[in-house]
Amino acid sequence: MPETLNSSPAKPRVRFAPSPTGFLHVGSARTFIFNWLYARRNGGAMILRLDDTDVERNTDASVNSIFEGLKWLGLDWDEEYKQSDRGTLHRQMAETIFQKGLAYRDFTPAHTGDSERSGAQGTWLFNPGMRELSREESDRRTAAGEPFALRFRVPREGGQIVRFTDAVYGEQVKAAADIEDFALLRSDGMPTYHLASCADDADLRISHIIRGQDHLSNTYKHVLIFEAAGFAPPQFAHLPLLVAPDGTKLSKRRHGPVVSVTTYRDAGFLPEAFINFLCLLGWSPKNDREQMTRQELIDAFSLEGINRANAVVNFKESPSSVVIPTLTEGKGRNLLFAPEDTFDPKALWLNAEHIRSLPIENLTQRLLPIVREAGFNVTPEKMLRITPLIRERIKLLRDVLTAADFFFVDQLPPYDPAELIPQKGDAAMAKKVLEKAQSVLANVEFKHDPLDHALRAAAQELGIKAGQMFQPIRVAVCGRKNAPPLFETLEVLGRETTLARIKMAANLM
């Protein structure tokens, strides 16, 4: 078939272009997800491009963190590039623009940075001296080896206007006179972000640029670059920013690990739940749906559903929670992670919802590695029996360690004997219950119904309420008052362990 004649509508090409200067940030992850959703929804291509033109700040650790985070989220891409490999392309575009007279060499020594940040009123939109330099003079100084930055010659005369249509923010118009003569090339010959980004977007035939709203005002510069280089600008869609409860942009320095994707992974979030949560920040399916699978998100996604106001990630700003070490001390007592109230309550709820809707086998598989890593030897068979007992009781996968701890240990850690005393009862009643329980449980079949009948009958014999019968047993066996339902628990624990623990408890009374 003559594929050249195939005029099927162009498939969208989108990209995620992080600069590897830190771990994968939750905001970046959301940007990736929205791009990915758009690509998958429309049968397009997802491109991952490392924007690593800032050699000073790039690190391998950061690149790893990005890959690690995306891998955990289970997000894939179709093409991958590194800007540092494409310098030639960038310089070509700069040259093209320069030859057209749309850029000029600026021989002013580079600003020495930092200190003049406060004196920003000294900001200049353009430098007439350099802008007006004759080509001859410019060439002469270049030939003499004088370093220069290449600046875009913004068409500031004649009240010109730059415009583009943003899929989220609508028509955008700005007077060219308000745009500074931004740099294209640094004096060391390296391209700036603006140039490299546009050159690559043009070369990779990116059709839609979906990125953070912090780039909205940069977009005018990008439109200028595209047009100067002879390309039609792609479609733009800017995303509202994710901010902290204090309204400021999320940053590791200010807000700690809650802004890093791996923190959520390590805390026991399900990747699909985390993606679900991120999607609901700044986007809405507009039908009151909240819990959604990956496929449902793909099917529902559209640029029209994106809104314009920044969204707050509602984590707790308690510094203490951030300081708590992730180390485990001793077995049994696994108070290891930052308390769950660190995270956005809605993220937690969504996670719990996703956990509840997972088949037992699947959940078990996800729980097992966590339990083993904490030092407990549990067989998959046993875990498979434990999972249904805790599934409704955990919000994070890691909660398995505190919700099911008593299933994993041989010896229960010490607990307060007073807990054994039932409601409206006393120590004597507790002792009576525990002794009765020993004799009853020595013979009954360890299955839900027989246990239920036997224990209720025993309560009646003792002339106490069922609840008063169950509580001492529960505490004896679990080491605490709050635990999964008793009969199922006993069933999993088995007769031997149950009797041993009750005997120990009886000795405490």
**CA distance linking residue 41 with residue 210, whole number of Å:** 14
Segment contacting RNA (CB under 7 A): 67-75, 185-193, 265-273, 436-444?
Answer: 185-193
- CA 90 → CA 13, 68, 86, 189, distances in Å? 20, 29, 7, 10
Please give the order of strands across the beta sheet that includes 149-152.
Answer: 103-106, 149-152, 183-185
Residues 148-167 as x/- pattern, contact with RNA by CB under 7 A: xx------------------
To the nearest whole angstrom, how small is the minimum distance from the Cβ of residue 289 to RNA? 8
For position 119 contacting RNA by CB under 7 A, the verdict is no
Structure letter (DSSP) for residue 445: -
Q: What phi, psi does 38 have (nearest 5°)?
A: -65, -45
110 binds RNA, rule: CB under 7 A? yes
Q: Which of 228, 214, 72, 216 is nearest to 150 (CA)?
A: 228
Q: Count Cβ neighbours within 10 Å for each residue of 49-80 and write b for 16 or more, e otherwise.
A: bbbbbbeeebeeebbebbeebbebbebebeee
Decide: 503 and 442 in contact? Cβ < 8 Å. no
Among the listed residues 332, 282, 329, the one whose alpha carbon sits nearest the alpha carbon of residue 309: 282
Q: Work out whether 182 is an interface residue with RNA (CB under 7 A).
A: yes
**Distance in Å, CB of 18 to RNA, minimum:** 7
Compose the 130-149 pattern: x for residues touching RNA by CB under 7 A, - for all others. -----------------xxx
SS (H, E, C) 333-384: CCCCCCCHHHCCHHHHHHHHHHHHCCCHHHHHHHHHHHHHHCCCCCCHHHHH
Closest separation in Å from C-beta 2 to RNA: 41
Contact string (CB under 7 A) for RNA, positions 355-374, x = contact: -x------------------
Query: Which position among 223, 224, 352, 493 is part of the footprint of RNA (CB under 7 A)?
Result: 352
Which string of x and - marks every residue 450-469 that binds RNA (by CB under 7 A)? ----------------xx--
Minimum CB–partner distance for residue 325 and RNA (Å): 26
Among 97, 209, 281, 386, binds RNA (CB under 7 A): 281
Is residue 252 annotated as a catalytic residue, yes or no? yes
253 is an interface residue for RNA by CB under 7 A: no
Query: If binding is defined by CB under 7 A, does position 187 make contact with RNA?
Result: yes
For RNA, the binding residue among 92, 96, 262, 307 (CB under 7 A) is 307
Give the range of 94-102, 264-272, 363-371, 484-492 binding RNA by CB under 7 A: 484-492
Binding status of residue 115 toward RNA by CB under 7 A:
no
Q: Do β-strands 149-152 and 103-106 pair in parallel, antiparallel, or remain unpaired? A: antiparallel
The residues carrying an active-site annotation are 252
